[in-house]
Amino acid sequence: MARIWILSPVYFDVDSYRRLRGELQAVLASLPLPPLAPRFVMVDDSAGRDPSVSKVEDTVQILVPPFNLGHQRAIVHGLRRLSREIADEDFVVTLDGDGEDQPSDLPRLLATLQDQPGNLRRIALAARTRRRETPVFKLLYFFFKHFFLLLSGTVVRSGNYAAFHGWVARNVLFHPHFDLCYASSLLSLDLEIVRVPCERGERYAGQSKMTYGKLVSHGFRMLMPFADRIAVRGLVVFALLLLLGLAALAVAFVLLAAGARISAAALCGLGLFVLLCATSLGSSLLLFALFSQSQGLSMTRLRE
């Protein structure tokens, strides 16, 4: 019987996870696919500080990182630790433990993989069609999506809800991009992605532990796997602006030499513009160099 590994990060939210696990078991029992042997794994992102974890430790494999990682890096930590136990043909599902990733969508994610049973590289991602959030969050998320698209050229509509074969966990998840962010790294590596429309659910209980400060930090980490695209776009834009500024300065000095009157404020403003463009161009070069270094590190874990 094929195994299905279902991994969720949990941060002081065990009661929600218990309900999630029960619903997932019911969904798996009703699948029209061949029977799957479930292996439930919970990453205790409280780093062992949550005493309520004892409620599930007899029925769930619990992984405890040495410190709080955040939900996305906790997923990566868990999959890397399990990579030697997971077979290439196994199914792997990752989802949040609070109920916002709905178990009822799991059959459609798995069916996407079953369409090509011999293709171990395919990844099914839940593409969010609707979010149940506060108006403030929706407004911030709207601006973030367009900011993300402007910098990376990629539309971000997915989170942690994903399904793939064990081959991906054993071979792809060791790329250094995943040290920063799970969801956007899946999008940045030119993998075989299939987006499955899924509506965002509601939390089972309690309040989200994600503050606005953590959301901003999470948003910037999501951009990091796209550092190469951001750097290239920055190089092109700031190089053009720098050339434009230098040309404007040259024209200004020619006019001054010809006796024209140009205010000192205008010259200072133009010089500041050129300086900012040069600094931004240097920053883009530095970002591209850092990306190149991470690409080199990604080769160290490839099998010969």
Q: Is residue 221 part of a domain?
A: no
Non-local CB neighbours of 232 within 8 Å, separated by 6+ positions: 288
Judgement on whether residues 84 and 191 belong to the same structural domain of the protein: yes
Look up residue 297 and give its amino acid.
L
Judgement on whether residues 87 and 196 belong to the same structural domain of the protein: yes
Question: Does the predicted TM-score (pTM) go above 0.75?
Answer: yes
What's 204's domain CATH number?
3.90.550.10
Backbone φ, ψ for residue 197 (5° rounding): -60, 125
- Among 210, 243, 265, identify where a domain stops: 210
Q: Is residue 64 part of a domain?
A: yes
Specify the number of domains making up the chain: 2
Backbone φ, ψ for residue 292 (5° rounding): -60, -35
Judgement on whether residues 52 and 166 belong to the same structural domain of the protein: yes
Exposure letters 93-113 (e unless 16+ CB within 10 A, then b): bbbbbbbbbbbebbbebbebb
Q: Is residue 108 part of a domain?
A: yes
Judgement on whether residues 24 and 78 belong to the same structural domain of the protein: yes
pLDDT in the model for residue 274: 82
- For the chain, how many residues are written? 304
- Per residue in 261-284, pLDDT tens? 777 788 788 888 888 878 877 777
- Among 179, 210, 241, identify where a domain stops: 210
Judgement on whether residues 119 and 173 belong to the same structural domain of the protein: yes
pLDDT in the model for residue 93: 97
Judgement on whether residues 249 and 289 belong to the same structural domain of the protein: yes
Nearest to residue 96, comparing CAs of 206, 219, 175, 228?
Answer: 206
Residue 44 CB coordination number (10 Å): 26
Judgement on whether residues 89 and 232 belong to the same structural domain of the protein: no
Calculate the CA dihedral of residues 184, 189, 192, 198 and round it to 10 degrees: 0
Judgement on whether residues 288 and 162 belong to the same structural domain of the protein: no
CA dist list (Å): 261 to 183, 249, 256, 269, 272:
56, 14, 6, 15, 19
pLDDT in the model for residue 189: 85
CA dist list (Å): 130 to 108, 172, 202:
17, 29, 11
14-29 and 106-114 helices cross at what angle (nearest 10)? 50
Judgement on whether residues 85 and 182 belong to the same structural domain of the protein: yes
Contact predicate 106/163, CB 8 Å = yes
- Per residue in 71-120, pLDDT tens? 899 999 999 999 999 999 999 999 999 989 999 999 999 999 988 888 99
DSSP annotation of 59 reads: T
Contact predicate 274/246, CB 8 Å = yes
- Which domain range does residue 171 map to? 2-210
**Residue segments in the chain with a per-residue pLDDT below the cut of 50:** 304
135-152 and 227-257 helices cross at what angle (nearest 10)? 70
pLDDT in the model for residue 296: 58
